Structure 1
Amino acid sequence: MRSLSIVGNTFGCSASGERLVSAARDGDFQEAKALLEYNPRLAKYTTFGGGNSPLHHSAAQGHNEIVSLLIESGVDINLKNYRGQTALMQACQYGHWEVVLTLVLFKANIHKTDSLNGGTALHLAAINGHSCCIRILLADYIPSIPSFYKHVKKRSRIAQFVSESNDGTSLYEIINRPADGGVTALHMAALNGHFDSLCLLLDLGASMNEVTREDGSTIDLIGAGSTPLHYAAYGGNPHCCQILIARGASLTAENEKGWSPLEVARLWHREWLEGVLSAQRQHRITTLPSPYLSLPFMCVVKIARECGWTGGPVSNSTDPCAVCLENKCTVAASGCLHELCTRCALYLCSTSNTSSGPHAPPGSIPCPLCRHGIVSFKKLTTTKPLLQPPFKQRPSISCCSCSSMPGNNETPNAQETIPLSKRKSDSHSLRSQKFLPLKFESNLCTRGTDTISSIVRRSHLNGYSRTSFRWSNAQLKGGRSWFCSSDQSVETERGR
C-alpha cells in the first residue's frame, strides 16, 4: 500500500507538472499561477523526455509574465535542459528581449555554455541577428561613461582595455569567446549577414583576427584558420564584408586551405563580391558607431536591481512619468535632467536604435522628451532601496519525492555578472525581492521571433554535394551541428 501511495503521488506531480509546462508553453498565466499557488515545487519540474523546465518553455516562447512568476517561485534561473541550454540561451536564440532583460536583471549567468557545441547566449543571439539581446547581455560590462567608444576605438592593446570585472572576466573575453571549432559571435553574425549585430560586436571590441580550428562538433565549411571575413565572403553579404574591411580586416589572410576571402567568394560563386574583396581598393570607407550601442544601460540596471523596476503608483503629491503616465518617476537623465520611471528607462535602453545628435557621445540614447543624448541615469533622492525580507516559501501540498523536483531548501548556485564599477555585495538574493513583472506593450526588436532555419542558408547548399564539407569526429558519431541548432530547437518546442 505504501508503494502504491508513492506511485500515486509521483503520477499526480507528473500530471500537474505537465500542466504547468503546457501553460508555460501556451502563455496561460492564470493556469500557471493557480498551479504554482497549489504547489510551488512544480516550478522545478522537468519533462521526462526532454529535460525542459517550465522556465525553458516560457523563455523560448517569450512569455515574460510567466518567467517572472517562475522566478518568484524560486526556480533555478541557470537550470540547463537536456541540450545544456539555459532559459537565457533560449530567449536569446528566439529574440525575446523582454525575457532576456528580466533574466539579466535577476543576474542570470551569461557565461554558461551548452553541452553540444560550447556556445553561449551571445553566440545564439549573434546567429539570428538579435542586436537588442546582445546589448542587454552585455549591460554589466559597458560602463556609462561618455568616452567609452573613444577608448574602445583607439586602444592599442584591446585585451588590456579597462573592462575587467570582479569575477575576472573582461568584455574582450566575453565578446571573443570561441565555441567548438573556434567560431566566435563575430563569425556567426558575418556568416549570416546580420549587419547590425556585426557592427555592434565590432564597436564592443570583437576581434577580426580570431580564426577557426578543426575541432569540436562544428561542421568545417571553409577550412580551419578562417577569419570572420572568410565567413562573410561565404555568406555573401557585401555590407558585412565592407564593414569588416573598413575596420581593418585583412584581404590577403589565408586559411589552412590556402584560400583568401576573395578565393572563398569565387569558390562559392559569390561573383558580386569581386569588387568588394579586391586588394586594389582605393581607400577605406568611414564607419559610424552602431545605433545599438547603449551607454546608460549599466547604471539603470543597477538602479533597477537595487530599487525595483517600478516606482509604484503615483500619489497626489507626485508627478507621473511623462512617458507611461502610470508610475512614479525614479530616475533622471544626465544632462537634460528629465525624469522617468525605471521601467521606461529600461525600455528605452533596450529598444532605442536611433542615434543621438552629432555632438552627443557615441552610444548615448536620445531622450524621448527633448532628444538630448543620455549617457547615464541618476537615482532621484525620493527613490528608496527595496526592503529585502527573507524569501518565504509557500507551503507545498504535494508529498512527492520524485527526483525531477528537488526540495525547496536547495539554493541555486547563480553566478553573478559584476559591472566595471565597484558596488556593494548584495546581502540577499534578488529572488527575495518582490518585483512586479516587466510588462511591455510591443516587441521592438526588429527580428522578433523570427529564427534562421539554419546558420547556413539552405539555398547555398543546394548546389553542392554532401562531400563538399568535412565533418569532425563528433559529427560523424551523431552529434548535432552547431550550425543547425537554432532550427531544431524551434521544431522541438512547437512539436510538444
Structure 2
Amino acid sequence: MGLAISLHCGIVCGKHNGDSQLLDAIKTGNLTAVSSILGSKQSINCSVNRGLLFRKSTPLHVAAFSGNVDVVNLLLQMGANSNARNSSGQTPLMLACKGGDPFCVQQLLQHNADALAFESTHGRTCLHIACRQGHYDCVVKILDAARNGPISASWGFTRFINVRDHNGAIPLHMAARAGHVEIVRLLLNHGALVSATTCSSTYGPGHGSTPLHFAARSGSLPCVEELLAWGADRAQKDIMGDTAYAVAAHRGYWACAAILNPSAAEPMVWPSPLKFMQELEPETRSTLQAALAQVNKARFNVPSQIISASPNKSMASLLLKKVFCAHFEKTSLYDDQSRDKTQEQPSMRLEDVGSGCFTCCICFENYHKMIEVDACGHQMCAACTMALCCLNKPNPSASPSTPSCPFCRQDIAHLRLAKAPCNKKVTPFPITPDGNSSQPADRRCKSLGRNISFSLKRRSSISFYL
C-alpha cells in the first residue's frame, strides 16, 4: 500500500516542489529548464494541478494554452501525448484554441491531435472553442486540417462544420453569440447551416434557437446582418415562441430589432446554393460580399436617434416600426442615403473614365473592380451582379435556377474579376481625324443626358434584369 502511494506521488508532478518551477518554465518558454525538470520525472505525461483550468493537466496542456510553440514542439518530440485529457476532458488542442495561438494549433494537428474530440463538460469540440473565443486564425487552421485530413474522408467536412455540442449548438451558434462576424462569415462560406436549431427537448432559454437568436441575444448588429444576408429566417421561433426580433427588443438592442422587425423589408440573400457562387475566388467573393453588405446597409438605414436606447421600450418599438415602414416606402432597393451628393454630378460621363476604371454597362457608373462572366466575357459591376444572382426570399426550399448573362442570355457558370482596362478614354462614338466625336454636338449632349438620366434611375429599373 505504501509502495503504491509512493509511486503515485512520483508520477503526479503536482505533489512535488518542482511543480511551480515546471509551470514557470513552460509559461516563460525556458526550454532548458523544461527539459531538465521533465528529464528527472518518470513520465512526460505527468499530471499538473494548478487551479481549475490546469486540474489534472499535462505539461503539454499548459504549453498549448500559454502559446509557447517552442515548448510545444519540445514536448511533442519528447513523446508527449497530443490527445491527453484533463479533468474536464479537454485535450491540448482545445486549450490551444482557447489560448488563441494558431502555430500551437498547427503543431498539435500535425502530431495527430484529434479535432473531433469532445470535452466532457459541454460536449464541445476544438472548433466550438475557437469560434466562441473569436480566434479566427485558429479556426482557419482547424478547417484546413479537417478538409485535407481523415475527418473529411471518414466523417465528412460539412458534418464537421455543423457538429453539435450537448445543447445542440453548432460552432456558428458560438460565433454569433460572441459577435465574431468574420468567423460567422467564414463558417457560412464553408457550409454552416444558417438556420440550425439547438436542442428543443425541454423548455428554457436558448432551446430551439437559431444562430440569429444568438446574435440577437448579444446585440451583435454585424452578425445579424451577415446571417440575414445568408438567408436566416426572421420569422423562425424558438421553443418559447420568440422570434429573434422579440429577443433583441426584450434586451433593448433596438438597432438589431429594427432589422429583425418582420414588417421591415426583406434583406437580399447571398446566393449560397448556386455552385458558381460557392467556387468563387477569394478576391471576387470579398468584392461581391462588400457590395451585398452595402446594399443591405442602405435598406436598413434607420435614423440613429430612433435606435438609441430608450427607457420606455414599448414607445421606442412603436417609433421604430413607424419610421421603418415610412423609410422603406420612400427608399428604393438600391437607394443608399449615405452617398455624397457630388457623386450624382455629371462625373459619370463615359468620356471621363480614367486609367484603371471600368464602366458598368447596366448602371453606367465607374468602378475600380468589375465582375466578368467567364464564358462570354461580359462585365458588370458587383452591385448589378448581386442584383442578378441574389435571392429575395430567406431560406429557399429549393435550389434557385442558374441566372443568365443579361447581355447574351447564356447561363452563368463562373465569375471572376475582370482585368484592368487599358489607359484609354472610352467614348460612345468614333473619333474623327480632327479629334472630335463623329456625333453632332447637340446629339452628343442629348445622348449624354439620357445616359446620366438612366444612371440616376437605374435603381428602380435594375429589376428588369432579374
For normalisation by structure 2, the TM-score amounts to: 0.53
1:244-283 alignment, distance < 5 Å: 244-279=227-262, 280-283=264-267
1:240 matched to 2:227: no
Tell me the equivalent position of 1:299.
Answer: none
Distance change in 2, residues 1:186/1:34 (3 Å): same
Tell me the equivalent position of 1:122.
Answer: 127
Tell me the equivalent position of 1:23.
Answer: 25
Distance change in 2, residues 1:358/1:164 (3 Å): farther
Deviation of residue 97 (structure 1)? 0.9
Deviations 1:173-232 (A, max 9, x none): 11111112111110111111101110001111110221111579xx953x4111111111
- What is the letter of the counterpart of residue 186 of structure 2? L
Separation in 1, partners of 2:8, 2:87: 26
Deviation of residue 75 (structure 1)? 1.2
- What is the letter of the counterpart of residue 53 of structure 1? T
Distance change in 2, residues 1:164/1:180 (3 Å): closer
1:33 matched to 2:35: yes
Tell me the equivalent position of 1:328.
Answer: none
1:346-365 alignment, distance < 5 Å: none
Deviations 1:391-431 (A, max 9, x none): xxxxxxxxxxxxxxxxxxxxxxxxxxxxxxxxxxxxxxxxx
C-alpha contact (below 8 Å) 1:131/1:292 kept by paired residues = no
C-alpha contact (below 8 Å) 1:17/1:42 kept by paired residues = no
Larger Cα-atom Rg: 2
Distance change in 2, residues 1:43/1:253 (3 Å): same
C-alpha contact (below 8 Å) 1:20/1:42 kept by paired residues = no
SS class of match (2:44): helix
- Bigger relative contact order, structure 1 or 2, given CA contacts below 8 A and separation 6+? 1
Percent of pairs identical after alignment? 27
Tell me the equivalent position of 1:10.
Answer: 10
Separation in 1, partners of 2:142, 2:114: 10
Deviation of residue 10 (structure 1)? 2.8
C-alpha contact (below 8 Å) 2:12/2:46 kept by paired residues = no
Q: What RMSD over aligned residues (CA atoms) do the two structures have, in Å?
A: 3.5
1:140 matched to 2:145: yes
C-alpha contact (below 8 Å) 1:135/1:293 kept by paired residues = no
Distance change in 2, residues 1:115/1:4 (3 Å): closer
1:57-456 alignment, distance < 5 Å: 57-142=62-147, 165-166=152-153, 168-214=154-200, 220-221=204-205, 223-279=206-262, 280-284=264-268
Separation in 1, partners of 2:139, 2:9: 43
- What is the letter of the counterpart of residue 193 of structure 1? G
Distance change in 2, residues 1:252/1:68 (3 Å): same
Separation in 2, partners of 1:182, 1:4: 43
Deviation of residue 274 (structure 1)? 2.7
- What is the letter of the counterpart of residue 29 of structure 2? G
Distance change in 2, residues 1:265/1:30 (3 Å): same
In structure 1, list runs of 5 or more residues that go unmatched: 145-162, 295-356, 361-496
Deviation of residue 278 (structure 1)? 2.6
Distance change in 2, residues 1:241/1:51 (3 Å): same
- What is the letter of the counterpart of residue 211 of structure 1? T
Tell me the equivalent position of 2:375.
Answer: none
C-alpha contact (below 8 Å) 2:197/2:209 kept by paired residues = yes
- What is the letter of the counterpart of residue 249 of structure 2? R
Deviations 1:146-180 (A, max 9, x none): xxxxxxxxxxxxxxxxx9734x2111111111112
Q: Which structure has greater helix proportion?
A: 2
Deviations 1:301-321 (A, max 9, x none): xxxxxxxxxxxxxxxxxxxxx
C-alpha contact (below 8 Å) 1:199/1:290 kept by paired residues = no
C-alpha contact (below 8 Å) 2:11/2:43 kept by paired residues = no
Distance change in 2, residues 1:76/1:66 (3 Å): same
Deviations 1:240-272 (A, max 9, x none): 111111111101001111111111111111111
Separation in 2, partners of 1:141, 1:8: 38
Question: Which deviates further from its counterpart, 86-95 or 274-283?
Answer: 274-283
C-alpha contact (below 8 Å) 2:195/2:212 kept by paired residues = no
- What is the letter of the counterpart of residue 256 of structure 1? I
- What is the letter of the counterpart of residue 80 of structure 1? R
C-alpha contact (below 8 Å) 2:176/2:212 kept by paired residues = yes
Deviation of residue 27 (structure 1)? 2.4
Distance change in 2, residues 1:73/1:264 (3 Å): same
Deviation of residue 126 (structure 1)? 0.5
Deviation of residue 276 (structure 1)? 1.4
C-alpha contact (below 8 Å) 2:204/2:240 kept by paired residues = no
For normalisation by structure 1, the TM-score amounts to: 0.50
Question: Which deviates further from its counterpart, 127-136 or 2-11?
Answer: 2-11
Distance change in 2, residues 1:242/1:31 (3 Å): same
Deviation of residue 128 (structure 1)? 1.2
Distance change in 2, residues 1:42/1:18 (3 Å): farther
Deviation of residue 29 (structure 1)? 1.8
